Amino acid sequence: MAINVNTVYQTVLLILNKEQRGYMTPLEFNKIGGQVQLEIFEKYAEDMNQQLRVPQIDLDYSDRQLNVDEKISIFKDIDTATYTTNGFQIPLQYSGSSSASQQFTIANPGLQYTLTGDTASLLTTGGVASVFLNNVQLSNNDFSISGSILTLNSQPPAGQVLIINIYPKQFYRLGTVIYSAGALPIQELERVGGSQLYHLLSSNLTKPTTTYPIYTYKNNYLNVYPVSIKSGISVNYLRKPIQPIWAFTGTNQYVFSPTASNNFELHSSEQTEVILKILLYAGVVIRDPEIVQIAASQIQQQEMNQKS
Amino acid sequence: MSIPNGGLITETNRQYYAGAQQFQASSTSSVGQTFTSTFDTNLTFSSSDNASNGYNLNNFKIFTSVDAITWAELIPSAVIASTTGTSNTVSAINQKNVTVAAANTDVLVGMTILKADGSFVGIVASIAAGNQTFTCISNLAVAVANLDVLTFRFAQPYSELNNIVTINAKLPASIFVKIQLNEDTLWDSNGSYSYTRLDDVIDNFLIAYVGAGKLIPSIKRSDVIFHAKRGLQEFSYDTLKSIRSQELTVPLSLTLTMPQDYVNYTRFSWVDQMGVQHTIYPANELTLRPYATPTQADDGSIVQDSNNSNTELTSQITGAWNANNPRSLSGAFLNDYNVADLYWQNYYNNALGQRYGLNPVTSQRNGWFVVDDRRGQFGFSSDLKEKLITLEYVSDGNAYDLDARIPKMAEEALYAHIIYSILSTSIGVQEYVVQRFKKERSAKLRNAKIRLSNIKLDEIVQVFRNQSKWIKY
């Protein structure tokens, strides 16, 4: 699903260099790539809002709401919120801890590999895994991770190198909050503002109950009402895309290092837009108005096609 | 169709008719096994010790059986929740250990130790190898003598949380376990298929009527809850069946307190020896219970006490009303024929020579009642003293959790009410849309009233047959 970072970089370089316009260093590319990825990602919520107000065509691949939802779905996640005296803490707050990596040189081929140390602890607190076998990134369908055990779907040959990179998930935007207790039906919590809260709490008809609980959201904590709820809160949320990295080795020339790189996490249908937007920023960097103009007009045209 | 198969019925025949759900324990004996209730009614639990007050708050009991035929209730003294042992040493109150003569593998951590006289010894915290020596959580509450017979049992053989029952006692392998609802809980459940819970109405409304591309693109759930509950209240007053009633006896004080969930009365009746009701009428124009009875000075001014509040006297009107003879109001003959037994001799005798020209409003001999809003009570005329009466009244459908449901006959009317209430209070909704839903609400409510009136062809035909009677003049 992801967009190969090397493909994007090479395409950008190709377009930029075609007429000797300039060169973009990997460092510049990584920073602009991250910016572009976030820009596109942030736009999804607005796109969805826009499309929800427009009648859709119920045909395969043509429903724009579904298409946008498919792009967002990559980043959807659900986790439990931990109860503290301040309220329920939203899951997986990024504390700045860096990624972790573990390497196995396969001597005795098997399907399962136990992760240890930072890799294991990052996984158990929630992390996104990239798995490489002999420098080739495996798709998410080729492996599964449960606890600290990595299970491959097919057994690799002896002598190959298995690398697992784990990146911490970063909470991005709060979605639906749900409450489950034992065998009772699962309930959705309603989000209310501070000004509403006190009216709701004192209203005899709309007072929150365990059947219809509510919450307020402030400073990364959910304050759930009725206050008798002290467990069973799960949070649907969007996580932030992992920063794309075009990693390299070598000093005299840049040699792509796939196992240390990160692909763009965006849906593969965004590849053109990613390239165009990077080109737009590249045009600014290399001060070439023609590139900026072409990229901007291409982006505009694409936007019109997608939304009109 | 005894097994729920995806329809609206989610209980088995046995759950509905017998209030019982049966399980089979694990094939290996173990403690802490859990069983999930799938009754429509949520389980209510306070204590599994039948000697405690909290036990009566439970709405279910747990039974066990080896053959699913003969059942034994799971209480602290039940065989599978308790065991005995004979002490083989003296244990003083500054000790924690208790030792029994023979190894007993049925003693478990968490069990309470009792002596033969029922005195509490301690709670088992750990068991030494050999299953003869048991260490309590704290020093023994009473000393144990050699050869004392000790009972080990769980104070709470089971617990329940969110419809999951956890058996603390050690269940023998493959034993049958049964959750049995109490009788009154079963009554609440019986006939519940004719209702839809308000929670379901709210969820269904949010699914079907709210969303992108619909007339209500988004709405706060609390708004829907408000309009649903308000709708239920309004429907309770004039559309839904009045199902609330109380059987009471009028005390010597001639007053009765209003029911806790009382909104308005439907009918008061006194009941004769045949169980037939006779409507008691309101004494609206005859008397009232004054809201205030301030003390007056000789000049008529109102008297206040040291707290600057008016002082009050006992109502003289109430006293006079209670002391009167209602026959003086109705002009009734001395001999009553108050029994609905047509073959009672006095019926004919007293029906002769009736008086004419009486005011029909006061010409009744069933008695009077008056509403005392100041005290939240009903007052009755003296002829109803110590009589059995029934009070039929309406509530608002929000008093108790079980009330929060609507007859299926009126479910559609409630949806229409909610949607109209929301649209009529939202900005940007064209007036013609609001009017459309106003009419729809009105039509559906009318339809609901007709449905709930329960007019059946056979019954109405029976009434119409009265027309063919010959009446002598």
- What's the pLDDT at A93? 61
Alpha-helical segments (H) within chain A = 5-17, 26-52, 64-73, 117-124, 194-202, 271-285, 289-307
Report pLDDT for B327: 78
Confirm if A125 and A92 have CB atoms less than 8 A apart. Answer: yes
pLDDT at A291: 73
Q: For residue B222, which residues of chain A lie inside 8 Å, CB to CB? A: 190, 192, 196, 200, 206, 212, 214
Q: Does A157 touch chain B (CB under 8 A)?
A: no
Residues A114-125: what's their mean pLDDT?
81
Section B432-448 average pLDDT:
96
Q: What is the mean pLDDT of chain B?
A: 89
DSSP assignments along B117-173, one per residue: T--EEEEEEEE-TTS-EEEESSS-SS-B-TT-EEEEE-SSSEEEETTEEEE-S-BPT
In this prediction the ipTM stands at 0.80
Contact A212 B225 (CB under 8 A): yes
Give me B143's structure tokens: 């000393």
Distance from CA of B274 to the nearest CA of A (A): 43
Q: Could A183 and B164 be called an inter-chain contact, meaning their C-beta atoms sit closer than 8 Å?
A: yes
Of the partner residues A52, A184, A206, the one whose CB lies closest to the CB of residue B212: A52
Residue bearing the bigger pLDDT, A146 or B69: B69
Q: Distance between CA atoms of B107 and B149, rounded to whole angstroms?
A: 14
Q: Sheet containing B176-181: which strands, arranged edge to edge?
A: B20-24, B176-181, B60-65, B72-73
Per-residue model confidence as pLDDT tens digits over B411-439: 999 999 999 999 999 999 999 999 999 99
A183 and B162 within 8 Å at the Cβ level: the answer is yes
Tell me the pTM. 0.82
Lowest mean pLDDT among A95-99, B88-92, B134-138, B391-395: A95-99
Contact B213/A at CB under 8 A: yes
- Residue B86 is classified by DSSP as E
Report residue B252: phi and psi, to 5°: -65, -30
**Amino acid identity for residue B338 in this structure:** N
Over the stretch B34-44, which tens digit does the pLDDT of each residue have?
Answer: 999 999 999 99
Reported as a single tens digit per residue, the pLDDT across B170-225 is 899 999 999 999 999 999 889 999 999 999 999 999 999 998 888 899 999 999 99
Distances (CA, A) of B349 to B107, B328, B335, B445, B472: 79, 21, 9, 49, 20
Residue B307 — left, alpha, or beta (φ > 0 → left; ψ -120 to 50 → alpha)? Answer: alpha
pLDDT tens for B350-402 read 555 555 666 777 778 889 999 999 899 999 999 999 999 999 999 988 888 76
Confidence check: pLDDT of B26 > 90 = yes
Mean pLDDT computed over every residue of chain A = 87
For residue B115, give the DSSP letter.
Answer: -
pLDDT (0 to 100) of residue A94? 57
pLDDT score of A96: 47
Q: Side chain identity at A119, as an amino acid letter?
A: T
Share of chain B above pLDDT 90, in %: 70
Report the number of secondary-structure helices (H) and strands (E) in chain A: 7, 17
Å between B132 CA and nearest CA of chain A: 37
Nearest to B162 among A184, A188, A203 (CB): A184
* B73 burial type by CB count under 10 A (0-12 exposed, 13-18 middle, 19+ buried): middle
**Are B212 and A52 contacting, i.e. CB atoms less than 8 angstroms apart?**
yes
Residues in chain A: 308
Q: What is the mean pLDDT of residues A165-177?
A: 89
At residue B221, the pLDDT reads 93
Q: Do A183 and B225 touch (CB under 8 A)?
A: no
CA distance B378 to chain A (A): 27
pLDDT digits (tens, 9 = 90+) for A228-250: 999 999 999 999 898 899 999 88
